[in-house]
Structures are given as C-alpha cells and as structure tokens.
DNA sequence: GCCTCTGGATTTTTT
DNA sequence: ATCCAGAGGC
C-alpha cells in the first residue's frame, strides 16, 4: 500500500510530493490540487518514509484550513497525526510562547489582545504620551505600529529611523504601547510572531530544540506570509533545511496586511539549492473560464510564469452583463440563480456571489429577500466581535490574568456598578503612583491608609468588584468549567443585565453559543480549562464557521472567497472605482493586487461564471456613473457572451417567464435568518409593499432618473409588481413598483 | 449614567 | 446613506 499512496497524483504533483529533502518551492496555480499535494506529501512522509509525525510542522493560513487538513490526514493515516504540529503561524507561536516565553519575560498566563483590545490600549497610550487624537488619528498610528511590527522594527529602531514629526509621535506611542502590553501581560497578534522570533534569536538553545525537532516543514499560502513569518520559517528550517513552501504569487491579495509576495521571489535567493515545481494543470474550471482568468492576470508584472492548462471541456461562455444600477444588477443575479436552480442542474448552495466591498452586499441581500431566495451572508458582525461575547470573555480573561487592565476596564462598570469615568481615572492614577496594576490597586485600596480620593460609595463599589473577581478566581480552580461559566455569567450580574437590554434575547443567544464553544473544555480538571478555552476563542474567525453544505446562495467578499470553489460564480461590480477599487488608482502595485483579486474571483468558478457591472451605482449618498472595469478589456470576446444563457434569447432585461417564487411561503426575513446564522437579525428590515398597481399597459409615466416613458407590461411578482417601461431616452427598463418612484403623467 | 446630537469616514480583515 | 465615536445635555 505504501507504493500506491501517491497513485492519485499526476506526475507533477507526484514529484512535488516525493521531493522530501532540501528546500522546495511549489508554485501551484488555482485548482491545481495544491491541498492534495500537501496532504499526500505528509502522508507519504509518515507512511512511506517512516517519519514520526512528531517531527513534522505544517503551517496553514486559517484555522479552518488546518482543521480540514487534519481531517484529511486522519483519514489517510488512520489517526496517527495527533503528534504533528499543524496550525496557523499565530497558533503555533502562541504554543511556543506558552512553553518557552518565560525566557524573554512573557509569563505563561499571557493573553492575546485582538484588534479591539489593541485599539483601546493604543488610545490610552496615545493619551498618556500627550498625543492629540484630533491631530494624529489613532487609526493612523495603529497602522504605522502594526506595519513596523510586521517588518520587525522595534520601538528603538523606529525612533532611530524616524524621519518626520509624525514618526516621532508614533515612536512615542509605540514605546508606551509596548510597555503597557507588558504591564498587562498581553501580546497582540503581531507580537505572537515577533516575540517568537525574538525568543529564538535571544536564546539559540531554545531555537535549537525546535530546529532539531522539526525535520520537515511545510508552509501553505506562502504568498501571503509577511517578513516575520518568513523569518520564522528560515529559523525553524535552519537545521534540517527540509522546507516546502507552497504558493501562488498571482493569488497574493493581502499586501495591506503586510503580506509580502517578495517572499516567494526571495526564497530562491535564500535557498539557492531550492528545487522548484510547477503545478499548472487545473482540475477545477472549464477551459473558457481558465482562459478568461489567464487573460485577466496576464497584464501583471510581478509574476512567476505559471502557465495554466486544463483537460476539462471548454464549457459555456462567460456571461458579461451590464445592469442599469446595483438594484438591477442584484436582480439579474437572483433571477439567474433561480433559473439555474429551476433547471435542477444546480442547487442554491452551488452558487456564490462575490464582491469587492461589503457595502455591495446590501443591494444583493435586498434582492434575495425580495424574491424570497435563501442566501447566506459571510461576514456581518463577527461572532467574537459582538459586544456581549467580548464582555463575557473579558471577565474570563481578567479571572485568568488579573494584570489584564484592558479587560478590567471593559467590564468594571458592565453591568453598571456606579463606577464612572471619574472614579476610574482616580483609581488608575492611584495605581500608577504606586506601580500597581489596576487589579492590584483594587485589592490594596480597601485596606490602604492613604486611600484614593474617592467617595466611600465608589470605594465600596470597587471593593465589591474586586471581591467578585477574586471569588471567581477561586471558583475557577474548583468547579467543572461549565459550572464555572454559568456562575460567572450569573453572579457577575451580566445575565440579568443582558435580559433587560432591548436586544437582550439575541445577545443571550450569542452567550449560549459561546457556552457551546466552552463545552469541550468541560472534561478538563478544574483550573485547567480556562487557559485553553481563552486560547481557542482568541484565534478563530467567522469564516471558520462557514457551512458550505447548508442551502442558500453564498454572498461573500472576493478576499474571503480565496481558497473556496463554486460551480457557479457571479462577480458583481466590475467597474472602475469598485473593482479596481478607486483607492488603488494611484499605486501600480496596488492596482496589480486588484487584478489578482479579480483573478482569484474568476478562478473560484468551476462551470459557470458571470461578470456583472452596473452603469450607475449609488455610493456614499451620491450616485456615480462608472466605466466598465479595465479588467474586462483583456478578456477575448470569443470567450464571452452578453446573453444570460447561450441557449436562450439575448434579452437580459425582459423578465424570464419562470416559476421564480417556490420559496416564498414564509416571510422573507424568517427565511433569511434561517439560512444565515451569521447574518445579524438586522435583516428584519421592513418592506413597504404597495397594494395593487396603479399602472397598466399604455400608461404614460415619469421616472426621476429615466424621464418620460410608457408602460409596456406589468407582472405581479409575489406581493410586488414588475413593470416594464419604454422610456423616451433610455429604452426598455424593467422596474419594481416598490422601488421605482414612478408617477403618472 | 444614559440619551441625543453632530461630524467624519466609508477596501479588503486568514490571526 | 449610514454607521460609529465622541461630546454635551439632562
């Protein structure tokens, strides 16, 4: 069986999987079986070569990818992968720091600050450094610091290199911020990587242990690594040098998060003996879709010469559609989705709609709701960013790490305990004067002789809060985790507090959801569950929970769509200013990234691809007329059609006489909520529906945008009406009565 | 402490 | 158009 393990791979894939010694760069085009190669390579290492899984390190970019890979490997290797290190850079580094961070002064109980905590701390740091947030927005400073961290620039180095006054300001805040992180016993996301590199450089003996252990390294999505991550790879691979990196420069779309596709080009320089393998056969898309993709990306300069080819059938032409505005664009998508699923060839879950900006999802959602077609929105407010979830987690974090003043500040007056801004500031000042953390100050202030200058009432409140948390700390060591969870929720008063909130019910549901996340930790001995629980909630994202099997059309940003595939893909908003986004206009490098983004979208499609644009689009209040996207120009016209379907008449604006409303029995909101767990119930938008149409064929009408026209036909659509009007200047337009502001003339 | 008003911004967000 | 943060009033 060992020989045949790789029999499912094509020759190129097989070579890449079998080249197990020395540095390897695998350039893998979209749909070329990259994941397959990685998993088989690991399986081959373990089963055929006999490598102990303990000696393998595999890095993915998302937890989801890590989980999926683990599942595949478990199937392939029957469960011997437990000892393998498999996870994101961040998760792996968190583990290393937990184990060995004390060598550089990071205590074992450290917490991970997310973007939200980071912002709060930075605001405080800026205030402490006397920086006026009006003059120097905290956001800009945050970006500067994060970018500095991604390039391994320490506060000291940053100060040395400061070239203008803004840099000076940033340096000041950066120094202060770092100090505060240490005081809070916290690290931010960037630190997880940075501190690990620092640990390795400072303590070669620790690095050596990891170097010795990991005989084989694998890095997926290498094009999206940043300098720090690459540095980690180089350090860890320093001993055995068996490092395989897999990536595709054409799919690098995260440069704004400091991903540096130069890593791909530098790999050959840093590992001159690297072998390079190309995976160029595409198994995913039809030949036409693939050619469209190639034509879109061909104009970029920063490329590796990956030549995609396929044995798949040519397939249908790619549909290019122009709508009048984003509402019509959305309507076209919904109708076509209905048409495709009506023919039973596709299910709704086979279909995805992709867009550049989240704001574009709105018009789409409205159309899906209006037509009663189930959809699921990836995004919305992310679960772990919801206030109630963050609040409760703040309790747990404080219990776990009382030095975490950011968490303390978050909850000290939630629910209200009569501790306002003023009392807290006093207490902070008092703490600082004595070199105490806030929590220590709470403890000390009740017995101190020189108490902070506060009312007895405030002091009592602080004391009650202190005793509350102190009690929780003891509880956490004594009871099963879920019992502890419930106790915190109840005795903190948070549960009662939520109950009386306007949207309390929903918030409590989110808490219940968090509780299910806590369940798996219940089996651990008392006192040992809190830490792993917190770790698990710090490093997850919402995409991790995207359920691809559930019914409904997927609405997703192009960024989030990376790594996914769908039989049918609609990309909307192919207009100058939207895709490419106008913020990229003045930077050629960014423009190339927009092109890659478009390429990523196109290559998600297996069988059918639709590229839509709107003539006019409302943006930030106003309405603009956009040119078609430059990315459409490169597409050879023999690959495309402007008909909705090549086999049907070319009349995209005339209603397709189809049974469109098979889902429409229940109220639309209920359906949307049902299929889109992560879509907030903000979807309970109300729809004002007109009664019978006051229009019939032949009526003269006026439209605020289109001008004068005559009604051609009306068509009852659920509880709305679709009206086709022939306008003097604009020709035929199909309008929804509830949308169009028509008046009779 | 909670409510309301105003001004500013508004790409993408794997961790 | 809309969402959010911060300010100011009750």
Least-confidence region, from A64-73, A421-430, A677-686: A677-686
Confirm whether any atom of chain C, the nucleic acid strand, is less than 7 Å from CB of A137: no
pLDDT in the model for residue A716: 46
Residue A479 lies inside a defined structural domain of this protein: yes
User: What is the CA A362 to C1' C3 distance in angstroms?
Assistant: 14
Between residue 465 and residue 494 of chain A, the positions with Cβ below 7 Å from nucleic chain B are none
Q: Which nucleotide is nearest to A221 (CA to C1')?
A: B14
Task: Classify the phi-psi angles of A673: left when phi > 0, otherwise alpha if psi is within -120 to 50, otherwise beta.
Answer: alpha
User: What is the CA A320 to C1' C1 distance in angstroms?
Assistant: 29
Q: Are residues A500 and A406 in the same domain?
A: yes
The larger pLDDT score, comparing residue A293 to residue A499, is at A293
Residue A635 lies inside a defined structural domain of this protein: yes
| DSSP state, residue A280 | -
Q: State which residue has its Cα closest to the C1' atom of C2.
A: A620
The larger pLDDT score, comparing residue A573 to residue A379, is at A573
Is A526 a known ligand-binding residue? Answer: no
Among residues A140, A155, A184, the one where a domain terminates is A184
Q: Are residues A77 and A201 in the same domain?
A: yes
Number of domains composing chain A: 5
Please give the distance of CA A301 from its chain centroid, rounded to a whole number: 27
Asked about A83 being catalytic, the answer comes back as no
| Residue A731, beta-bridge partner list | A727
What number is the average pLDDT over the span A80-97? 92
At residue A381, does pLDDT exceed 80? no
In this prediction, residue A665 has a pLDDT band, given cuts at 50, 70 and 90, of: very low
Among residues A161, A184, A207, the one where a domain terminates is A184
Alpha-carbon gap, residue A354 to A291, rounded angstroms = 19
Is A304 a known ligand-binding residue? Answer: no
Confirm whether any atom of chain B, the nucleic acid strand, is less than 7 Å from CB of A455: no
Q: Are residues A375 and A393 in the same domain?
A: no
pLDDT in the model for residue A423: 84
What number is the average pLDDT over the span A324-332? 92
Catalytic residue among A117, A178, A190, A220: A220
Q: Which nucleotide is nearest to A62 (CA to C1')?
A: B14
Strand C contact nucleotides, protein CB < 7 Å: 1-2, 6
Assess contact for A308 and A29: CB atoms under 8 A. Answer: yes
User: What is the CA A39 to C1' C8 distance in angstroms?
Assistant: 60
In this prediction, residue A548 has a pLDDT band, given cuts at 50, 70 and 90, of: low
Confirm whether any atom of chain C, the nucleic acid strand, is less than 7 Å from CB of A622: no
Confirm whether any atom of chain B, the nucleic acid strand, is less than 7 Å from CB of A93: no
Q: Where are the alpha helices (DSSP H) in A325-404?
A: 326-342, 361-370, 387-400
User: What is the CA A163 to C1' C4 distance in angstroms?
Assistant: 33
pLDDT in the model for residue A647: 44
Asked about A251 being catalytic, the answer comes back as yes
Among residues A247, A279, A311, the one where a domain terminates is A279
Task: Read off the pLDDT of residues A458-486 as tens digits, 9 standing for 90 and up.
Answer: 888 899 999 999 999 999 999 999 999 99
Assess contact for A543 and A62: CB atoms under 8 A. Answer: yes
Taking alpha carbons only, the member of A408, A364, A706, A681 closest to residue A554 is A364
User: What is the CA A621 to C1' C1 distance in angstroms?
Assistant: 5
Q: Are residues A403 and A513 in the same domain?
A: yes
Q: Are residues A454 and A489 in the same domain?
A: yes
β-pairing, A111-113 with A281-282?
unpaired
Residue A598 lies inside a defined structural domain of this protein: yes
Asked about A734 being catalytic, the answer comes back as no
Residue A348 lies inside a defined structural domain of this protein: yes
Asked about A220 being catalytic, the answer comes back as yes
Confirm whether any atom of chain C, the nucleic acid strand, is less than 7 Å from CB of A123: yes
Q: What is the mean pLDDT of chain A?
A: 84
User: What is the CA A336 to C1' B15 distance in angstroms?
Assistant: 37
Is A35 a known ligand-binding residue? Answer: yes
pLDDT in the model for residue A675: 32
Residue A614 lies inside a defined structural domain of this protein: yes
Measured CA to CA in angstroms, residue A435 lies from A121, A126, A182 at distances of 18, 20, 13
Is A690 a known ligand-binding residue? Answer: no
Confirm whether any atom of chain B, the nucleic acid strand, is less than 7 Å from CB of A300: no
Least-confidence region, from A67-81, A471-485, A633-647: A633-647
Q: Are residues A364 and A441 in the same domain?
A: no
pLDDT in the model for residue A729: 62
Task: Classify the phi-psi angles of A174: left when phi > 0, otherwise alpha if psi is within -120 to 50, otherwise beta.
Answer: alpha
Residue span of the structural domain in which A712 resides: 699-744
At residue A130, does pLDDT exceed 90? no
Residue A30 lies inside a defined structural domain of this protein: yes
Alpha-carbon gap, residue A516 to A157, rounded angstroms = 45
Question: Considering chain A, what percentage of its residues have pLDDT values greater than 70?
Answer: 85
Catalytic residue among A14, A35, A109, A316: A35
pLDDT in the model for residue A711: 66
What number is the average pLDDT over the span A51-64? 92
State which of A279-288, A533-542, A543-552, A643-652 shows the largest mean pLDDT: A279-288
Q: Residue A444: enclosing H or E segment and its boundaries?
A: helix A438-447
Q: Are residues A446 and A520 in the same domain?
A: yes
Residue A704 lies inside a defined structural domain of this protein: yes
pLDDT in the model for residue A336: 94
Is A123 a known ligand-binding residue? Answer: no
Asked about A604 being catalytic, the answer comes back as yes
Task: Read off the pLDDT of residues A394-438 as tens digits, 9 standing for 90 and up.
Answer: 999 999 999 998 899 889 888 888 888 788 888 888 998 898 999
Q: Are residues A371 and A389 in the same domain?
A: no
Alpha-carbon gap, residue A219 to A58, rounded angstroms = 6
Report the CATH number at residue A522.
1.10.486.10
pLDDT in the model for residue A672: 34
Please give the distance of CA A594 from its chain centroid, rounded to a whole number: 17
pLDDT in the model for residue A656: 29
In this prediction, residue A690 has a pLDDT band, given cuts at 50, 70 and 90, of: very low
User: What is the CA A115 to C1' C3 distance in angstroms?
Assistant: 19
Report the CATH number at residue A44.
3.40.50.300
Q: Which nucleotide is nearest to A587 (CA to C1')?
A: B11
Confirm whether any atom of chain B, the nucleic acid strand, is less than 7 Å from CB of A619: no
Catalytic residue among A117, A178, A188, A221: A221
Between residue 243 and residue 262 of chain A, the positions with Cβ below 7 Å from nucleic chain B are 253-254, 256-257, 259
Q: Are residues A369 and A497 in the same domain?
A: no
Strand B contact nucleotides, protein CB < 7 Å: 1-2, 10-15
Confirm whether any atom of chain B, the nucleic acid strand, is less than 7 Å from CB of A559: yes
Residue A656 lies inside a defined structural domain of this protein: no
pLDDT in the model for residue A383: 72
Confirm whether any atom of chain B, the nucleic acid strand, is less than 7 Å from CB of A730: no
Q: Are residues A452 and A522 in the same domain?
A: yes
Q: Are residues A468 and A364 in the same domain?
A: no
User: What is the CA A609 to C1' C4 distance in angstroms?
Assistant: 37
Between residue 319 and residue 348 of chain A, the positions with Cβ below 7 Å from nucleic chain C are none
Q: Are residues A22 and A95 in the same domain?
A: yes
Task: Classify the phi-psi angles of A552: left when phi > 0, otherwise alpha if psi is within -120 to 50, otherwise beta.
Answer: left
3-state helix, strand, coil in chain A (%, to 5): 50, 15, 35
At residue A612, does pLDDT exceed 90? yes
**Residues contacting residue A134 through CB under 8 Å, at least 6 positions apart:** none
Task: Read off the pLDDT of residues A42-52 as tens digits, 9 standing for 90 and up.
Answer: 999 999 999 99
Confirm whether any atom of chain C, the nucleic acid strand, is less than 7 Å from CB of A688: no
At residue A542, does pLDDT exceed 50? yes
pLDDT in the model for residue A514: 85
């Amino acid at each position: 069986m060992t020989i045949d393990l790789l029999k499912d791979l094509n020759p190129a894939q097989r070579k890449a999987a079998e080249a197990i010694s020395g540095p390897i760069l695998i350039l893998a085009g979209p749909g070329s079986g990259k994941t397959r190669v990685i998993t088989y390579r690991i399986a081959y290492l373990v089963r055929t070569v006999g490598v102990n899984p303990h000696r393998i390190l595999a890095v993915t970019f998302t937890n989801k990818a890590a989980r999926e890979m683990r599942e595949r490997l478990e199937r392939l290797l029957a469960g011997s992968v437990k000892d393998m290190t498999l996870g994101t850079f961040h998760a792996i580094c968190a583990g290393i720091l937990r184990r060995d961070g004390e060598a550089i002064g990071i205590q074992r109980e450290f917490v991970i600050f997310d973007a939200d905590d980071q912002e709060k701390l930075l605001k405080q740091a800026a205030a402490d450094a006397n920086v006026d947030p009006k003059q120097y927005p905290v956001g800009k400073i945050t970006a500067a610091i994060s970018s500095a961290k991604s390039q391994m620039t320490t506060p000291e180095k940053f100060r040395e290199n400061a070239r203008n006054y803004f840099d000076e300001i940033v340096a000041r805040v950066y120094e202060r911020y770092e100090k505060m992180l240490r005081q809070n016993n916290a690290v931010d996301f960037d630190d997880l990587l940075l501190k690990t590199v620092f640990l390795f450089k400072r303590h070669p003996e620790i690095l050596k242990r990891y170097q010795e252990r990991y005989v084989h390294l694998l890095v997926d999505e290498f094009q999206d690594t940043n300098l720090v991550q690459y540095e980690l790879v180089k350090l860890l691979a320093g001993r055995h040098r068996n490092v395989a990196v897999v990536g595709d420069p054409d799919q690098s779309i995260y440069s704004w998060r400091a991903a540096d596709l130069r890593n791909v080009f530098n790999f050959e320089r840093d590992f001159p003996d690297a072998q390079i393998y190309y995976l160029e056969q595409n198994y995913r898309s039809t030949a036409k879709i693939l050619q469209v993709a190639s034509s879109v990306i061909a104009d970029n300069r920063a490329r590796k010469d990956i030549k995609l080819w396929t044995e798949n059938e040519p397939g249908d032409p790619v549909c290019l559609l122009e709508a009048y505005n984003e509402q019509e664009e959305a309507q076209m998508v919904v109708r076509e989705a209905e048409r495709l699923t009506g023919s039973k060839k596709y299910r709704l879950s086979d279909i995805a709609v992709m867009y550049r900006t989240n704001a574009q999802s709105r018009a789409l959602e409205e159309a899906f709701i209006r037509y009663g077609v189930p959809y699921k929105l990836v995004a919305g407010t992310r679960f772990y960013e919801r206030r109630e979830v963050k609040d409760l987690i703040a309790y747990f974090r404080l219990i776990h790490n009382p030095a975490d003043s950011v968490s303390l500040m978050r909850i000290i007056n939630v629910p209200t305990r009569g501790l306002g801004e003023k009392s807290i500031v006093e207490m902070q000042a008092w703490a600082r004067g004595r070199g105490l953390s806030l929590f220590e100050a709470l403890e000390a202030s009740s017995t101190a002789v020189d108490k902070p200058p506060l009312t007895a009432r405030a002091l009592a409140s602080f004391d009650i809060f202190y005793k509350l948390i102190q009690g929780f700390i003891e509880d956490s060591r004594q009871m099963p985790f879920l019992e502890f969870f419930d106790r915190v929720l109840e005795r903190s008063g948070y549960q009662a507090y939520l109950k009386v909130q306007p949207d309390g019910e929903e918030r409590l549901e989110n808490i219940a959801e968090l509780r299910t996340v806590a369940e798996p930790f219940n089996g651990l001995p008392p006192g040992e569950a809190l830490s792993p629980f917190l770790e698990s909630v710090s490093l997850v994202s919402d995409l991790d929970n995207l359920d691809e099997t559930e019914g409904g059309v997927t609405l997703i940003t192009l960024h989030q769509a990376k790594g996914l595939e769908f039989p049918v893909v609609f990309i909307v908003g192919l207009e100058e200013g939207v895709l490419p986004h106008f913020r990229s206009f003045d930077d050629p490098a960014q423009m190339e990234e927009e092109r890659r983004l478009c390429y990523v979208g196109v290559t998600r499609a297996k069988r059918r691809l639709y590229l839509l644009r709107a003539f006019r689009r409302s943006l930030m209040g106003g309405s603009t007329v956009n040119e078609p996207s430059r990315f459409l120009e490169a597409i050879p016209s023999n690959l495309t059609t402007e008909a909705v379907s090549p086999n049907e008449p070319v009349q995209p604006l005339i209603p397709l006489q189809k049974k469109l409303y098979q889902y429409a029995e229940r109220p639309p909101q209920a359906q949307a909520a049902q299929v889109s767990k992560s879509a907030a119930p903000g979807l309970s938008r109300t729809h004002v529906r007109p009664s019978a149409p006051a229009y019939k064929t032949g009526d003269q009408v006026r439209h605020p945008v289109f001008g004068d026209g005559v009604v051609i036909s009306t068509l009852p659509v659920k509880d709305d009406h679709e009206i086709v009007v022939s306008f003097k200047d604009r020709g035929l337009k199909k309008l929804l009565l509830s949308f169009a502001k028509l008046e009779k003339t």
